[in-house]
Structure 1
């Protein structure tokens, strides 16, 4: 099953103003045993977003296992994102304070208090991609990773490690 196989589910979500609670119980997702955070960010929020589908539409969704992991800050320094969104992380990194200010206030407080994001981003093992590669790639959460890079550059408080959902084969 890939994103194209779920196109009718995505249409129903849009047309019916479907809530995430209804979406996550749809029979089309029964074989996916993904955490709710991943289902929400990957499929519910981005499953029909054109550039996202261009980059990840080929993935065999049922072959991905997601775990919440702690990733060292240094690993995010050069971590890429999908080809269709290339440059977005660095664009955000140029103005990290702005990108935090346009979010709800608790996001900024969390960065100040903890030096990290409020919600873990989604990273994908690049062996799952076509062409396959090594390392991790930012699947969803490009703004968060951009803020992290920008805060580092501006010498603002950044934790030494961060939580992220990591999808692996």
Structure 2
């Protein structure tokens, strides 16, 4: 099944659990959070279809891994929405005027950043070789606000960050 084929499945955006189960019945193998954030939430997004439409979902393996904070500096424009990533990163430059709201206005999210120095929900990355790029270079699929926030916090030294951050990492299965 290719990413573009997801739109042919009758997913229910109001019932994530049902949609996750339906995709698993179609042979999709990925963590629930990847299925929700990548396969359900964006399967009709034109930019995602342009970037990932031909991607064979059965060829991907997903792992929850940790990246050092410095690994995120390699992203550059290697993201679904590079301009948005940069915009969110630069939001942190307004810390003096806006305060902690540059991190997040939701109290639970802000408190998590302050306590743990990282996000609540891991963002989704693909190994760039999946898209024809260099192996082991991170391509940000979903989580631009989270990663942009991290980059902004680091750049403007707003709060201490954790040394490592969990991400979902998609790469080719062996033999693919």
Q: Same fold (TM over 0.5)?
A: yes
Cα distance 1:140–1:29, how it changes in 2: closer, same or farther (>3 A)? farther
Give a deviation string over 1:89-125, Cα, whole Å, max 9, x none: 11101114545334x3211111100110010000101
- Distance between the aligned counterparts of 2:3 and 2:89, measured in 1? 29
Which of 26, 29, 36 aligns to 1:33? It is 29
1:8 aligns with 2:8: yes
**TM-score, length basis structure 2:** 0.84
> Structure 2 matches for 1:89-108, cutoff 5 A?
89-96=85-92, 97-102=100-105, 104-108=106-110
Following TM superposition, the consecutive aligned residue runs of length 4 or more in structure 1 with deviations greater than 2 angstroms are 27-30, 80-84, 96-102, 131-134
1:133 aligns with 2:134: yes
Which of 124, 143, 147 aligns to 2:145? It is 143
Q: Once structures 1 and 2 are overlaid, which stretch shifts more, 76-85 or 119-128?
A: 76-85
1:167 aligns with 2:163: no
Cα distance 1:53–1:29, how it changes in 2: closer, same or farther (>3 A)? farther
Q: What is aligned with 1:19?
A: 15
Is contact 2:79–2:141 with CA below 8 Å preserved after alignment?
no
Is contact 2:79–2:140 with CA below 8 Å preserved after alignment?
no
SS of alignment partner, residue 68 of structure 1? strand
Could you list the runs of 5+ residues in structure 1 that have no partner in the other structure? none
- Over the aligned positions, Cα root-mean-square deviation in angstroms equals 2.0
Q: What is aligned with 1:115?
A: 117
Could you list the runs of 5+ residues in structure 2 that have no partner in the other structure? 93-99
Give a deviation string over 1:48-102, Cα, whole Å, max 9, x none: 1111221111211111100000110000013145565222211101114545334
SS of alignment partner, residue 32 of structure 1? coil
1:68 aligns with 2:61: no
- Distance between the aligned counterparts of 1:123 and 1:108, measured in 2? 23
Is contact 1:66–1:168 with CA below 8 Å preserved after alignment?
yes
**TM-score, length basis structure 1:** 0.87
Deviation at 1:136, TM superposition (A): 1.4
Equivalent residues, number: 163
